[in-house]
Amino acid sequence: MSRAERIFCVADARTHAQRRMPRVVFDYVDGAAGSEAGNRLNCEVLDAIRLLPRVLINVEERSLTKSFLGRDWGLPFGIAPMGMCNLTWPGADAILARAAARHDIPLCLSTAASSTIERTRERAGENAWFQLYVGHSQEVSMDLVRRADEAGYEVLMLTVDVPQVSHRLRDLKNGFQVPFRIGPRQFLDFARHPSWSLGTLAAGVPVTANFTDYVDSKSTDKVFKAWVRNEGRGRIDWQFLEMLRESWPRTLMVKGVLAPADALVAKERGVDGLYVSNHGGRQLDSAPAAIHMLPLIRRAVGEGYPLLFDSGVRNGESIVKALALGADFVMLGRTWLYAIGADGEPGMEKMIEVLGEEVSLAMAQLGRCQLADIDESLIFHHETAAGTAFE
């Protein structure tokens, strides 16, 4: 049995990825801010939400098609932006792009990806979105926006919840850095994970590919001059957002919004949709569980305003819960890197299949054939059960 064949749920993929990858890489993917309580809370709160089964409804013909941003997608979930994915498997970015095209799901390419804006658009076509970080050079950032425009991207996603990369203790202890550097501390770690080391190091240490164009050829710091993970990204403000709104001709979304008040302002400033997320617990350890904020933000922005959700989703039922609580579409982060870290492309394929099946099975139990019919009435509120359960 291959490793992919042994993936029956996200936890299996995580286990296999942990075995195959060096600790420094697994911890980069799996880790979170501070005590990591925020990350655990995202998952625990989602798990604690209960869905009320409905019976004797013909659910034989179920569809996983989901409409969002004016088009139909093959599944109701997609790939959240993640930097340096190629550390998990050589060509992981290409695997993600092919999966996006094959299953007709969105892939949000990170500013800090190991593949360029242009190459990813070629690989994933209209399924590719571009996520923007604005670092110290606004000039470079706006050039990335120009490149995304010229490459034909439909969706630009501005991430706003990283004014400063927070303390990710595992990364600090392991000496993890971007640009990725191999120090003496990593040698033993790599030696213990020969399958990863032979593949990934032989393919060449991944770089932040979008920045190679901006490098001063005389610089000794080579490709990394324009992208330093820990540099401040806290300079942008609402005025910057307005400027970006004016310069981006198509769909502009903002990622990393938790406060309903911020959601309202973003909507008023002409943003086309919001991505409710606490960055998978990787930024403010004490932030509320993202799923707790989702219905509040839905209430603030009203029905019909596009909302994406991520943070803590580890199974199909959680995808259904997010849809029921106001999301139009759900993204997953770590899950995909566990799957690819476990077994490359077959791992990714298996994970998509598992999650799709889990969503479909949940729909069957809930008496819903269409994802558009997933709504708040499916959430079981224990405290008010007498009022809702018997309607």
Q: Of 16, 103, 193, 279, which residue is the catalytic one?
A: 279
Question: In angstroms, what is the minimal distance from the CB of 292 to ligand FMN?
Answer: 14
Strand 307-309 to 329-332 pairing? parallel
Q: How far is the CB of 196 from ligand FMN (least distance, A)?
A: 15
Nearer to ligand FMN, 100 or 112 (CB): 112
Q: Which is nearer to ligand FMN, 339 or 368 (CB)?
A: 339
Given a contact cutoff of 8 angstroms between Cβ atoms, the answer to whether 132 and 156 are in contact is yes
What are 197's two structure tokens?
A: 């080391």
CB-nearest residue to ligand FMN? 333
Enumerate binding residues for ligand FMN (CB under 6 A).
28-29, 42, 80-83, 110, 112, 131, 159, 255, 277, 279-280, 282, 310-313, 332-335, 337
* Burial (CB count <10 Å: 0-12, 13-18, 19+), residue 102: middle
- Distance in Å, CB of 334 to ligand FMN, minimum: 4
Instruction: Evaluate whether 281 touches 162 at the Cβ level (below 8 Å).
Output: no
d(CA 357, CA 348): 14
Smallest separation (angstroms) from ligand FMN to the CB of 337: 6
Round to whole Å and give the CA distance between 68 and 290: 20
Residue 381 a catalytic site member: no
C-alpha distances (whole Å) from 334 to each of 117, 241, 294, 366, 383 are: 21, 28, 20, 27, 33
Residue 87 to residue 181: CA distance in whole angstroms:
12
If the CB atoms of residues 332 and 351 are measured against ligand FMN, the closer one turns out to be: 332
| AA identity, residue 58 | N
CA–CA separation, 116 vs 210, rounded Å?
Answer: 5
Whichever of 69 and 178 has its CB closer to ligand FMN, that residue is: 178
Shortest spacing between CB 389 and ligand FMN, in angstroms? 30
CA angle in degrees (0–180, nearest 5) for 357-11-330? 50
Residue with Cβ nearer ligand FMN (75 or 368): 75
Q: Which residues are catalytic?
A: 279
